Amino acid sequence: MKNLRWKPLLVLLAVFAMVAAACGDSSDTAAPATTAAAAETTAAPAEALPGEGVTVNMARGNWVETNFQNAVIQQLLGELGYEVGEPEEIAPATFFPALAQGDFDLWGSTWPLNHDPLAAGEMPGGGIIADRIQHVGTMMASGALQGLLVDKASVEQFGFTTLNELLDNPDAIAHFDVDGDGKADLNGCDDGWGCQKVMNDTIAANGWDDRILQISATHSALFTESQASFEQGGPVLQYVWTPTAFVGKLVPGRDVVWLAVDPSSTLEGQDGVSSVGDACTNDPCTTMFTPSDIVISANSEWLDANPAAASLLSNFVLDPLAVAVQAVAIDSGLNSAADISAAAADWIASNRAEIDGWIATAIAAG
């Protein structure tokens, strides 16, 4: 892939020329009169872009799949003249307070249904985090399908169709109890991720604390553990989201299925139904998580001060399939900053016609 650099759009050049004039004399004696004027060509200075002189402090989530969309945002802001440094990797629980107090300007890694609870708390100096930040646009509408994957063999062995039924069966609990503490082990989310809180809150709200435990560690390591268990004929109870490369390794409908929960057991706002057909233990399939938009979040004062950026970010749309393709590429080893930057540049080049409209609108707004 080529790493393309695109020059800012709508740069206007004006050229002025002086016209030579000849003067005549009406006397009887004709004498040639010539007035010579030196022609000048003056180029007007290029029109300043709205982001020139402004440095942007970006962050990105601490899961590698989100690097691609943040790299695209970084390069698009550059087309408006902003100077954007390399986004800092950070967990959501740490990011939102830092965003509210102005340590960061934005990121493109927000899943509102998971992350809004993390922004509901108070700032150290007073005030609510959520009052100082904004979600901008809808970058990937319903782009994040999330839930628990369970191996098909275990479903067939114990016959459960929901997590509720699994936890009502002591034999099934023992089957998923890896460490022998009497609880089913759920390989879950990293500390500080919104999904960790959603699952722990769901477990607590249903009184399942004595029957299931979420294991929180690096998600990729937990998934590798689940994949190894599957390959050895063991059980799988694993949190996964999309778009990601994970579902290309343990394939829903082939190796595993989404584990439904009773709709009455979900948290408020997390009761959406996913259309996955036979790839779920139940139809309709409620997966504990409503499919979430993936959006950009920014500091409210920064947005007010940068209307061009606010316009661009509100119009920016990204196909979740493009992110999934890059997730597979990242998983295959194309995971360096240069690789991801090149992939972002290629995506921008492939969508140039639409992006030109976003840039023009943003320049007008600025």
Q: Which CATH number covers residue 233?
A: 3.40.190.100
Is 98 in the same domain as 215? no
Of the candidates 340, 309, 298, the one whose C-alpha atom is nearest the C-alpha of residue 322 is: 340
Note the maximum CA span of the chain: 125
Of the three residues 286, 313, 335, the one that is the final residue of a domain is 286
Is 46 inside any structural domain? Answer: no
> 291: cis peptide before it, omega within 30°?
no
* Segments forming the whole domain that contains residue 240: 146-286
Instruction: Report, as an integer, the average pLDDT of 85-107.
Output: 96
Is 62 in the same domain as 176? no
Of the three residues 262, 286, 310, the one that is the final residue of a domain is 286
The total of structural domains in the chain comes to 2
Q: Which two tokens stand for residue 94?
A: 């740490």
pTM strictly above 0.75: yes
Is 262 in the same domain as 190? yes
Is 242 in the same domain as 343? no
pLDDT beyond 60 at 287 = yes
Is 174 in the same domain as 275? yes
pLDDT beyond 50 at 20 = no
Of the three residues 265, 286, 307, the one that is the final residue of a domain is 286
CB-CB neighbours of 130 under 10 Å: 17
Is 185 in the same domain as 201? yes
Is 172 in the same domain as 115? no
Is 3 inside any structural domain? Answer: no
Given this model, what pLDDT does residue 46 score?
Answer: 60
Is 151 in the same domain as 134? no
Is 104 in the same domain as 163? no
Q: Which CATH number covers residue 76?
A: 3.40.190.10
Instruction: Report, as an integer, the average pLDDT of 147-168.
Output: 97
CA 141 to chain centre: 11
Q: Which of 41-50, 121-130, 299-308 has the highest mean pLDDT?
A: 299-308
Is 8 inside any structural domain? Answer: no
